[in-house]
A and B are shown apart, each in its own frame.
Chain A
């Protein structure tokens, strides 16, 4: 642990007094990866470094940072890997657009396939219904 983190661990509160701010801190905790365990967000990790990172989140909130600023703060310190929420940039727009693009392609295939004539197999009365 470096000196700055040690200082934060000593001064910053473990829980923020304002419930709304604490709720914000909790949801941020769930989005930040513990740099020691790597499989868990700091919200759940029991590693010492996760405790310090949680305090860091609360310190930034107490200092008036927005959620985006806090994410940027962690990204600058630990890299993109630390955030479970992938950023929106040149590398990831294809990822974020996939949930819209895939259905669009799928719909096109379905309707193109339908027009080619499976409906023709219905009898006239059936088509009227």
Chain B
């Protein structure tokens, strides 16, 4: 019964979303229609929430007569994973996509602010069509509430790799980010229809872009950390197609966050901002397609379903055709921007956008290239980390080299010499780091440059905060308290990029690893300490059994216990690893338990890793996300002041 209610609610939501689209697009001249549009958008969102709640309910009940539950859940699963199982599969995650899109439509509908009525109702209308497109795809190509007859007794279980707290947060956050980019898309299309993209429009765009970017940042960071501790080899980024699929919209969203500032503050770059908004959503759909279709070999191969890929491509094609078509037709009619000099805040933001867009383009080409070669009859090739590290990393390096200059320059016409003078201490510190790293690493250039850049970003960000503090009056505490939130948010995000850079470079360039075979009682020297295997025992989890190894790690002056597991799920042929991680200031000591060694009785194969400063990667990402959150708060405050 619950499943039927869900299916009915989803179908009704589709009808209402279509109505939202039609009313919204035609509401420009009549207030009553605009009001109706808003009410419809809210009803559609409520129905989507009901449908998704029904899906969670059938998962919690373990109602195996519903096909999705039977294929992805199991009676023995802990409750939290039954709930998360609702979005840990194709159908459920698509319904989540629709629900988020409808919710954003409802929020759009209830926050008109100072926007032009026509522009606003068209935005709500386009968002309704986006939701409708996603619902059509979901209900017809991957119905989440389809029944099974006869119903199985226990269900086949979730992929054990997915049974992890990160499953609860990682997919929904990424979807909030992906779908969040549908709102800038709707705003862009509405602006093209209306023939105007003014500063009020950019003001409406900014919070949505920031929110989408922040969600993507947190979602990607959690996914990266998940891979780091779950896959058992300490990898946190592998330029895997699906990682790239989330990185491309992230890069474009980052560009959009910056270009929207220029459009709002100065009225320039409006047409470029619109193009980015269209591209961002296109890449978000492409991302969903790459994850869901499995056309590319990837660690996310658990989500594959090639038959549905075509329909997803059709959606992508429709969205991009409408987007680019409207852009080509209407963008030339937008108002001409006001000017700026070659040295100014605007021009630095143009270079920022240039770098981020080029990086996104290179990632896109690299990700899709194997498909192109295969389609052209060139056979199977791989485009992996060696390509991306050699191309995207230097591009981002150049971007980071310019980054600290941006905030130091004023709008319209800036003074480069004064900016460079203020940043001189940061540059000196960066060069010092570079030289020291060169000397200490036996003249390895890449890590030295990377560390130097990281220091440059951090020191440059701090100097910017300091120059802003100096402008205030009174005691230091008073000056700090008076500093606008926007200064903190921007600096935090930029410094976070520096922190992440240092972590990433330290981890990739200076990690050490060792594979050993140990019998209980034996130890091995590693990373300045000694790791001893104490014992290996059998334990029983709620729906798995595991080998559990206990270790003692002796470090100068301290001794710590650590355990690692290898879990066997009856529902899956592949065991999973639960690594032991000892976090220290210099980085993580990371221990993974393997199989019993074939030819040495009683010995276990064990891998030890030392990942220097790896925590800075996740700390940096968190700082960037926090910068996004603070910036959202700052925008909210300003809106209140203006209202």
Binding site for B on A (CB under 8 A): 14-15, 26, 30-31, 33, 38-41, 43-44, 46, 79-87, 91-92, 95-96, 98-99, 102-103, 106-107, 110, 114, 118-122, 126-127, 129
Contact B231 A44 (CB under 8 A): yes
Point out which of A31, A99, A129 has the most chain B C-beta atoms below 10 A from its C-beta: A99
Contact B379 A95 (CB under 8 A): no
Q: Known A39-B301, A86-B381; judge A98-B365 contact (CB<8 A).
A: yes
Contact B362 A91 (CB under 8 A): no
The 4 closest A-B pairs by CB, nearest first: A84-B384, A121-B339, A44-B233, A85-B386
When chains A and B are docked, how far (Å) is the Cα of A87 from the Cα of B381?
Answer: 8
- Stretch from B80-88, B133-141, B350-358, B520-528 forming part of the interface with A: B350-358
Q: What residues of B have a CB within 8 angstroms of the CB of A81 in the complex? A: 379-382
Q: What residues of A have a CB within 8 angstroms of the CB of B379 in the complex? A: 79-81
Contact B387 A91 (CB under 8 A): no
Nearest A-chain residue to B515, judged by Cβ: A14
Q: Known A31-B386, A95-B369; judge A38-B297 contact (CB<8 A).
A: yes
16 residue pairs A–B, Cβ–Cβ below 8 Å = A31-B385, A39-B298, A39-B299, A39-B301, A40-B238, A44-B232, A80-B379, A80-B381, A80-B382, A81-B382, A91-B376, A98-B361, A102-B361, A106-B358, A107-B354, A119-B339
Q: Known A39-B297, A103-B358, A118-B339; judge A91-B382 contact (CB<8 A).
A: no
Q: What residues of B have a CB within 8 angstroms of the CB of A92 in the complex? A: 369, 373, 381
Across the interface, B358 reaches (CB within 8 A) one of A44, A86, A102, namely A102
Q: Known A39-B240, A118-B339, A119-B341; judge A46-B232 contact (CB<8 A).
A: yes
Binding site for A on B (CB under 8 A): 231-233, 235, 238, 240, 268, 297-299, 301, 336-342, 350, 354, 357-358, 361-362, 365-366, 369, 373, 376, 378-387, 391-392, 394-395, 412-413, 415, 513, 515, 594-595
Q: Known A39-B299, A122-B341, A129-B341; judge A95-B366 contact (CB<8 A).
A: yes
Q: How far is the CB of B153 from chain A (nearest CB, A)?
A: 32
When chains A and B are docked, how far (Å) is the Cα of A98 from the Cα of B362?
Answer: 7
Q: What residues of A have a CB within 8 angstroms of the CB of B391 in the complex? A: 98-99
Q: Known A118-B339, A122-B412, A122-B413; judge A86-B369 contact (CB<8 A).
A: yes
Q: What residues of A have a CB within 8 angstroms of the CB of B338 in the complex? A: 121
Q: How far is the CB of A111 from chain B (nearest CB, A)?
A: 10
When chains A and B are docked, how far (Å) is the Cα of A92 from the Cα of B245?
Answer: 21
Q: What residues of A have a CB within 8 angstroms of the CB of B383 in the complex? A: 84, 86, 95
Given contact pairs A39-B299, A99-B358, A121-B337, enumerate 17 new A-B contacts (beta carbons under 8 Å). A30-B385, A31-B384, A38-B301, A39-B240, A40-B233, A44-B235, A79-B379, A84-B386, A86-B387, A91-B373, A91-B376, A107-B354, A110-B350, A118-B268, A118-B337, A119-B339, A122-B413
Contact B380 A79 (CB under 8 A): yes
Contact B365 A95 (CB under 8 A): yes
When chains A and B are docked, how far (Å) is the Cα of A44 from the Cα of B579?
Answer: 14
Q: How far is the CB of A39 from chain B (nearest CB, A)?
A: 4
Nearest B-chain residue to A84, judged by Cβ: B384
Q: Known A39-B297, A95-B369, A127-B341; judge A102-B362 contact (CB<8 A).
A: yes
Contact A110 B354 (CB under 8 A): yes
Q: What residues of B have a CB within 8 angstroms of the CB of A26 in the complex? A: 513
Q: What residues of A have a CB within 8 angstroms of the CB of B339 in the complex? A: 118-122
Contact B361 A83 (CB under 8 A): no
Contact B382 A33 (CB under 8 A): yes
Point out which of B337, B386, B595 has the most chain A C-beta atoms below 10 A from its C-beta: B386
Q: How far is the CB of B333 from chain A (nearest CB, A)?
A: 16
Q: How far is the CB of B402 from chain A (nearest CB, A)?
A: 13
Q: How far is the CB of A36 from chain B (nearest CB, A)?
A: 11
Q: What residues of B have a CB within 8 angstroms of the CB of A114 in the complex? A: 342
When chains A and B are docked, how far (Å) is the Cα of A38 from the Cα of B383?
Answer: 13
When chains A and B are docked, how far (Å) is the Cα of A127 from the Cα of B413?
Answer: 8
Contact B357 A95 (CB under 8 A): no
Across the interface, B362 reaches (CB within 8 A) one of A46, A99, A119, A127, namely A99
Q: What residues of B have a CB within 8 angstroms of the CB of A82 in the complex? A: 382
When chains A and B are docked, how far (Å) is the Cα of A95 from the Cα of B388?
Answer: 11
Nearest A-chain residue to B346, judged by Cβ: A118
Q: What residues of B have a CB within 8 angstroms of the CB of A107 in the complex? A: 354
Q: What residues of B have a CB within 8 angstroms of the CB of A87 in the complex? A: 381
Q: How far is the CB of A14 from chain B (nearest CB, A)?
A: 7
Contact B413 A126 (CB under 8 A): yes
Q: What residues of A have a CB within 8 angstroms of the CB of B238 in the complex? A: 40
Nearest B-chain residue to A125, judged by Cβ: B413
Q: How far is the CB of B505 from chain A (nearest CB, A)?
A: 16
Q: What residues of A have a CB within 8 angstroms of the CB of B376 in the complex? A: 91
When chains A and B are docked, how far (Å) is the Cα of A84 from the Cα of B386?
Answer: 7
When chains A and B are docked, how far (Å) is the Cα of A107 from the Cα of B240?
Answer: 29
Contact A85 B358 (CB under 8 A): no
Point out which of B341, B376, B384 has the most chain A C-beta atoms below 10 A from its C-beta: B384
When chains A and B are docked, how far (Å) is the Cα of A87 from the Cα of B378?
Answer: 12
When chains A and B are docked, how far (Å) is the Cα of A30 from the Cα of B237?
Answer: 13
Q: What residues of A have a CB within 8 angstroms of the CB of B233 in the complex? A: 40, 43-44
Q: What residues of B have a CB within 8 angstroms of the CB of A38 in the complex? A: 297, 301
Q: What residues of B have a CB within 8 angstroms of the CB of A14 in the complex? A: 515
Contact B341 A126 (CB under 8 A): yes
Q: What residues of A have a CB within 8 angstroms of the CB of B415 in the complex? A: 129
Contact B594 A46 (CB under 8 A): yes
When chains A and B are docked, how far (Å) is the Cα of A30 from the Cα of B362?
Answer: 21
Nearest A-chain residue to B513, judged by Cβ: A26
Nearest B-chain residue to A103, judged by Cβ: B358
Q: How far is the CB of A9 from chain B (nearest CB, A)?
A: 10
Q: What residues of B have a CB within 8 angstroms of the CB of A44 in the complex? A: 231-233, 235
When chains A and B are docked, how far (Å) is the Cα of A33 from the Cα of B337?
Answer: 50
Across the interface, A83 reaches (CB within 8 A) one of B231, B350, B362, B382, namely B382
When chains A and B are docked, how far (Å) is the Cα of A44 from the Cα of B379?
Answer: 25
Q: What residues of B have a CB within 8 angstroms of the CB of A39 in the complex? A: 240, 297-299, 301
